[in-house]
Structures are given as structure tokens and as C-alpha cells.
Amino acid sequence: MSQKGKYTIGLGIEDPPHLQPGSRVEIKPRGFGYRGAWFSAIIIKRDTPIYSNHFVVKFTDLYLDKNTGARPLKKMSIVFIRPQPSPQPPRKFKIGDNADAYHMNGWWEGVIVVELQDDNYVFLFHSEYQWPKCLVFGVSQLRLHRTWFGGYWMPPELESELDVEEVQREEDPTKITMEMEELSEGALVEVANDEDGFNRAWFAAIIVKPVGNNRYMIQYETVQTEDDTGLGKEMDILQIRPCPPDIPVPDQFEMLDQVEALYKGGWWKGVIINVHSDDSKYQVYLATHEEMEFKHSDLRLHQDWVHGKWTKPSPGVHL
């Protein structure tokens, strides 16, 4: 041992703390099926000869020998070894955040593409060998992605990250407004049905009349009763929006486009996760946690009604 407590091996080679025997590290195996993921391991010793820059390690979750129940020792290049990152508390993620997801006993690199309810997120794997390309993970299965480069974490680990991050919603729903002429009797609108099973969809409706206190009687256009008449219902203004402007997509939608799909009479939020070879059908992951196939004609680009204005998806920015 040196005076600094580091393990020293002859010829003046002194390994950093995370490469000392017994240190917990993460390793990126090169084997097929593991590319794009980091797996937990323990440093056993530096391999010989000592200038080879290889280390003998034991994985904690991989390569279990079914006959003996033991995990064999492996030799790994220092290039594929990094310290084990400090534990991260649960945090709120944003669309586009680079993250790691804990999947099949390892941490896989990818990006957040959809924010769902109850702190769940749709995660897109970077690895071309991972299928399906998108899966849903809870916040406890995710961590902010970092790169170990030159002996430092990028972005650096900050003291502030020891506290659970609070993310405030940018939009206050009480501030959503709509011009009164758009809510005149007979106006075509879309309403959010808050009943179980429909709380993530927008349905076409007609304003029947105002009933006071920013509430309106509406009649559904696409939801019918047994006698083939539209259902009538009283709705709050916060559940009503004008029909979104049409954004033509003449050719085809692209992977990860944020869309709304026409299903059961309503428009459901989702994201394109696969474009079929004939370009006429798409696999869509809906906010209901369902994966379904839709025709081009049953999809439209997603738009948000915020502060009395429509916001359009920006090119290259997805859910």
C-alpha cells in the first residue's frame, strides 16, 4: 500500500481507486446481446503482465455457471471499465433526456421519448441489438446518463443531485383560456373525456349551450348512444379546446414522431415506434401503455393547446 492508500504494483504502476482489488465497477462487455449496456462487477486484480492494461474481474449479474452456481473470472480491458456511479435519487425526467435504464441485469443507454403518468417513461434504447426498441420504465429503473472520460464524469456529479429534484409544471391549467366566440353555440370543439379508460383522449363534440361558471353543455360527435344519438354532457372549460389545425403529412410519419391516433372515436396521444416497409402502416405506442398498428389516415401530428394558442411539434423534437 502507498501512503495514499492506493494499491501499487511494481514498475511504478499505481492504479486509481476504482481499479483496486475489491472495488465495485461497471463494465461494458463486447459480446453479442450485451452491447450498449453496463454491468456491475468487482475488480479481482490487475492481469499479468502488468503493462497489459487488462484486469481480472467477476461480474455480479452475468455469466452464472448453472452447474456450479459460481461466476467465473473474466479478463477485461481497462477501456471497458469505469467506476460505479454514485446512487441517484428518484428524479423527474424530461423528453429528450439521455438516460440509462436497468434492464436484463444491466444499465442500457438510451433516451426518454415519452412521459407517462405515475412517473413512468417510454425509453428508446440506443443499442441497435436491443429489441423492442422502446420499453416502459418506472422512475426507480432510470438514472441520468453520464460518460466516464479522462478520470471524470461528464456531466459531473453534483451535490445538488443528492436531493430529489422537483420539477414544476410550466403550465398552470387555470391559465388556459379560449376566445368566447369559439365557444358559441354550435361551435365544433374537442373535449377530454375524464371517465376511466378515456382520460387520455380527445373527442369531437359540438357546443350546445353555456350553463354558467365556465361550464358548457356539449354533444359528442363520435360517441353514440343505443338510439344512435350523440351523448350530451356538461363539461368544464378546462376540458374543452378548439379543433387543432391540420398539419399535412403527405408522405409518411417518421420514427419517434409525436402523434395522435384515431381509436374508439377519440384521438389518443402516442409515439411512432416502427414504420412498416410499405410506409402505409405504423406501430404506435399509446399513452395507455398499449402498442397498436395504425394506418396513415388514422394518425395526425400531436399539438398542444396552451394559453389559447396551438403549439406545433418542432422538427427533430419528439415526445
Compute φ and ψ for 183, nearest 5 degrees: -110, 25
* CATH code of residue 211: 2.30.30
Helices (H) then strands (E): counts for the chain: 0, 26
Whether 278 and 301 share a structural domain: yes
Name the β-bridge partners of 263: 266
- Report pLDDT for 21: 92
Cα-Cα-Cα-Cα dihedral sign, residues 190, 191, 192, 193: negative
Q: What is the pLDDT of residue 115?
A: 87
How many other CB atoms are there within 10 angstroms of residue 108's CB atom?
23
From 154, 171, 201, give the residue that closes a domain: 154
262 and 224 within one domain: no
- CA proximity to 222, closest of 191, 178, 255, 181: 191
Other CB atoms within 10 A of residue 114 CB: 23
Rg (CA), the chain: 27
Task: Report if residue 29 sits inside a domain.
Answer: yes
Least confident of 55-69, 108-122, 154-168: 154-168
End residue of a domain, out of 154, 178, 200 = 154
**Looking at residue 196, what is its pLDDT?**
46
* 51-74 burial code (b ≥16 CB/10 A, e <16): eeebbebebeebeeeeeeeebeeb
Question: CA-CA distance, 231 to 253, in Å (whole number)?
Answer: 33
Which pLDDT tens digit goes with each residue over 230-284?
Answer: 567 888 888 899 999 988 887 888 887 888 999 988 999 888 888 887 767 998 8
Give a yes or no: residue 92 inside a domain.
Answer: no
* Chain centroid, CA 76 distance in Å: 31
Same-domain check for residues 79 and 21: yes
- Do 23 and 75 sit in the same domain of this protein? yes
Q: Which amino acid is at 91?
A: R
pLDDT tens string 291-316:
899 999 999 998 888 777 887 654 43
Q: What mean pLDDT is predicted for residues 208-220?
A: 89
Q: Which of 11-25, 84-98, 165-179 has the lowest mean pLDDT?
A: 165-179
Domain count across the chain: 4
Q: Report whether 254 contacts 276 (CB < 8 A).
A: no
- The answer to whether the beta carbons of residues 39 and 26 sit under 8 Å apart is yes
Query: Please, are residues 82 and 38 in contact by the beta-carbon 8 Å criterion?
Result: yes
Model confidence pLDDT, tens digit, residues 86-98 = 888 888 999 888 9
Residue 223 banded pLDDT, cuts 50, 70, 90: low
Pairing of strands 106-115, 142-144: unpaired
Residue 115 belongs to what domain range? Answer: 97-154
Q: Does residue 122 carry a pLDDT above 50?
A: yes
**Half-sphere exposure in the Cβ direction for 58 (13 Å, CA):** 13
Q: Residue 29 pLDDT more than 60?
A: yes
Is the pLDDT confidence value at 168 over 50? no
Give the pLDDT of residue 180.
46
In a domain, 76, yes or no: yes
- What span, in angstroms and rounded, lies between the C-alpha atoms of 187 and 177? 16
pLDDT the model gives residue 165:
38
Q: Which of 34 and 103 is assigned the larger pLDDT?
A: 103
Q: In terms of domains, do 79 and 101 share one?
A: no
Q: Are 112 and 95 in contact (CB under 8 A)?
A: yes
Asked if residue 175 belongs to a domain, the reply is: no
Do the domain assignments include residue 224? yes
**Residues 25 and 79 both lie in one domain:** yes
| pLDDT for the residue 313 | 53
Based on the fold, state whether residues 226 and 194 are members of the same structural domain: yes
| Highest mean pLDDT, choosing among 25-34, 242-251, 282-291 | 242-251
Residue 264 lies in a domain: yes
Band of pLDDT at residue 143, cut at 50, 70 and 90: very high
Asked whether residue 204 is domain-assigned, the answer is yes
- Look at residue 182 in the predicted model and tell me its pLDDT: 57
What percent of the chain stands above pLDDT 70? 78
State pTM to two decimals. 0.50
Q: How far is CA 94 from CA 44, 98, 152, 188, 271, in A?
A: 38, 9, 24, 33, 15
* pLDDT at site 57: 94
* AA letter at 205: A
* pLDDT over threshold 90, residue 12: no
Per-residue model confidence (pLDDT) at position 261: 93
Residue linked to cell 426518454? 112
Does residue 22 sit in the same domain as residue 76?
Answer: yes
Taking a C-beta distance cutoff of 8 angstroms, is the pair 79, 91 a contact? no
Q: Per-residue confidence at 319, pLDDT binned at 50, 70, 90?
A: very low
Does residue 90 lie within any of the structural domains?
no
Query: In the predicted model, what is the mean pLDDT of residues 60-80?
Result: 86
Reference 300, options 220, 190, 217, 210; nearest CA is 190
pLDDT tier, 70 (very low <50, low <70, confident <90, very high otherwise): confident
Mean pLDDT of the chain, nearest integer: 78
